[in-house]
């Protein structure tokens, strides 16, 4: 795949069509319970927020990669980019809260022309900055080669996608040559102290399966990644986050095209875990879209499922009003509540 679903006019680029497919296939074809029914059976519906601890901000859908499973449908042909004005609205919102962590994502967030300014301003507010880096952006162009030093200067926590510790599985999901470039970038991060014991510079990796299956246990995967990356490449890191693929956008397309959709959804539904459901990330996170729209999570954002609140844009941010909302759920939410659960920080149960 070299182009986004949106640029090719694919029907799954339409969020309403995705929601129709998810509901129709789950309820009508597979005769599985709808997600809100599962929550109700566990005494968790409606799902309500706890104190907001994370403001997750998507600063744009532009990316230097076009990955097979991308739920954002990001790529070089996506032009949606957060403006500095919208970034300022985010800063204003932060200033009136005690939200401790700002999680910057994309696309490749570093491609936003105001990315560095934004990181600096968030740091001045005394908040922890976390950047979701695809690694290859660091070596994609010389203007990004100093990103490890920039991250270090602002004590940014780097969360980097690496589907596997071998080239074949990584390149199958992310494109030819991605593993080699990722290794180069990881070595650059290690060279300035990231992942090194006692440095205080946190480098975490993200694993998500290359096929239509749920991830294995996070601890076991972390041990494998640490052992093999050190042995084969001399690379060190702090933690590994194992994330279940959510049936949204390109991953939904992959499931349908490969004939795996029904089986995968059955796995997720049958693995529903009430403990994981109680700990889902949407309960302590507020998600901000590139245009300032507010959502309960990044996945809802990609499906255009705004928060169930009169406050639906960051310019109108009202922490008290948002705290009273019920979280919007749909069939894709099964991905976050299956097995040990899944969040942007890995397993939750």
Residue 149: pLDDT over 70: yes
Q: How far is CA 140 from CA 143, 230, 296, 331, in A?
A: 9, 24, 32, 36
pLDDT digits (tens, 9 = 90+) for 32-41: 899 999 999 9
Q: 319 phi and psi, to 5 degrees?
A: -60, -40
Measured distance between the N- and C-terminal CA atoms of the chain, rounded to whole angstroms = 34
Label residue 169 by pLDDT band (50, 70, 90).
confident
Token couple for 327? 């979280």
Label residue 31 by pLDDT band (50, 70, 90).
confident
CA-wise closest residue to 310 among 296, 321, 299, 297: 321
Instruction: Report the distance separating Cα 220 and Cα 24, nearest Å.
Output: 36
332 contacts 107 by C-beta, under 8 angstroms: no
Instruction: Report the distance separating Cα 196 and Cα 237, nearest Å.
Output: 7
CA-wise closest residue to 243 among 298, 196, 184, 187: 298
Residue environment code for 192-206, b if the CB has 16+ CB neighbours within 10 A, otherwise e: bbbbbeeeebbbbbb
Instruction: Report the distance separating Cα 226 and Cα 208, nearest Å.
Output: 16
pLDDT digits (tens, 9 = 90+) for 236-265: 999 999 999 999 999 999 999 999 999 999
Residue given tokens 């491609």 in the structure block:
111
Q: How far is CA 2 from CA 20, 29, 75, in A?
A: 26, 32, 8
Structural domain 5-337, CATH architecture? Alpha-Beta Barrel (3.20)
Dmax over Cα atoms in the chain, in whole Å? 54
pLDDT digits (tens, 9 = 90+) for 202-214: 999 999 998 899 9
Residues in the chain: 349
Instruction: Using the Cα atoms of residue 261, residue 267, residue 270 and residue 274 in order, give the sign of their dihedral.
Output: negative
Secondary structure (DSSP) of 197-220: TTS---EEEEE--SSSS----HHH
Label residue 175 by pLDDT band (50, 70, 90).
confident
pLDDT digits (tens, 9 = 90+) for 64-92: 999 888 999 999 999 999 999 999 999 99
Residue given tokens 């397309």 in the structure block:
253
Alpha helices in 158-238 (DSSP H): 167-174, 178-191, 218-233
249 contacts 18 by C-beta, under 8 angstroms: yes
Q: Look at strands 285-288 and 157-161 and give their pairing.
A: unpaired
């Amino acid at each position: 795949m070299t182009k986004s679903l949106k640029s090719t006019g694919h029907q799954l680029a339409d969020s309403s069509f995705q929601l129709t497919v998810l509901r129709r296939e789950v309820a009508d074809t597979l005769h599985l319970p709808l997600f809100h029914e599962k929550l109700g059976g566990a005494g968790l519906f409606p799902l309500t927020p706890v104190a907001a601890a994370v403001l997750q901000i998507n600063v744009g859908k532009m990316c230097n990669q076009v990955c097979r499973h991308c739920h954002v449908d990001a790529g070089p042909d996506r032009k949606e980019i957060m403006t500095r004005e919208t970034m300022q609205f985010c800063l204003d919102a932060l200033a009136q809260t005690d939200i401790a962590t700002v999680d910057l994502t994309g696309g490749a967030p570093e491609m936003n022309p105001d990315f560095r300014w934004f990181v600096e301003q968030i740091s001045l507010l005394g908040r922890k900055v976390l950047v979701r880096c695809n690694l290859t952006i660091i070596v994609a162009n010389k203007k990004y080669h100093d990103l490890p030093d920039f991250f270090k200067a602002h004590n940014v926590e780097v969360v980097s996608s690496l589907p596997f510790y071998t080239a074949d599985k990584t390149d199958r999901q992310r494109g030819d040559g991605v593993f080699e470039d990722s290794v180069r970038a990881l070595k650059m991060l290690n060279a300035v102290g990231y992942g090194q014991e006692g440095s205080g510079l946190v480098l975490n990796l993200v694993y998500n399966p290359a096929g239509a299956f749920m991830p294995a246990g996070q601890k076991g995967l972390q041990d494998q990644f640490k052992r093999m990356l050190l042995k084969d490449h001399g690379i060190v890191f702090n933690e590994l986050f194992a994330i279940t693929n959510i049936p949204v956008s390109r991953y939904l397309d992959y499931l349908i095209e490969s004939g795996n959709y029904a089986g995968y959804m059955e796995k997720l539904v049958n693995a529903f875990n009430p403990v994981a459901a109680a700990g889902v990330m949407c309960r302590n996170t507020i998600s901000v879209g590139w245009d300032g729209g507010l959502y309960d999570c990044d996945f809802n954002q990609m499906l255009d499922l705004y928060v169930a609140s009169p406050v639906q844009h960051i310019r109108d941010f009202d922490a008290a009003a948002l705290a009273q909302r019920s979280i919007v759920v749909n069939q894709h939410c099964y991905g976050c509540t299956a097995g040990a659960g899944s969040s942007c920080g890995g397993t939750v149960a």
